[in-house]
Amino acid sequence: MANFDCTKCPGFCCSYPVIPINRRDVERLAKHFDLDFDTAKERFTKAAHGRKFCLRRKTDEHFGRICKFFDTKARRCTVYEARPSTCREYPTKNRCGYYDFLKFEREQQGDKAWIARTDTGEWR
């Protein structure tokens, strides 16, 4: 049983600098958006950090950069049904470290809606 609740997270895992995906994930996203593979590859991925396919990112007020498919207002995935395998498999353990951190910070701040920011503006 998982010891976290993704609905209470501001999308920490979506802010990782590298979100690697595979060819099948690009195909799934292409189908979701009714695009051909090459167009989806161009729009949604880039080669980086020795990986052929990494998700593109966009600006986020809390984490600096975040997955291009993340709704930064609602703090939710916009392609959940077509999300890549990396996202489907996360977390790989039964606990999400950010959820524990978030609970701790909310207790310290005395605010159940507190969002712990990591953005210092230095890594945009």
Place of tokens 């997270």: 9
What are the residue ranges spanned by the domains of the chain?
Answer: 6-109
Those residues with Cβ within 8 angstroms of residue 83's Cβ, 6 or more apart along the chain or in another chain? 69, 77
Q: Walk along the chain (124 residues) and give the pLDDT tens digit of each residue.
A: 455 667 767 788 898 889 999 999 999 999 999 999 999 999 999 999 899 999 999 999 888 899 999 999 998 999 999 999 999 888 777 777 777 777 888 898 898 877 766 554 443 3
Instruction: Find residue 64's DSSP bridge partners.
Output: 60
* DSSP class of 20: B
Determine if the pTM surpasses 0.75: yes
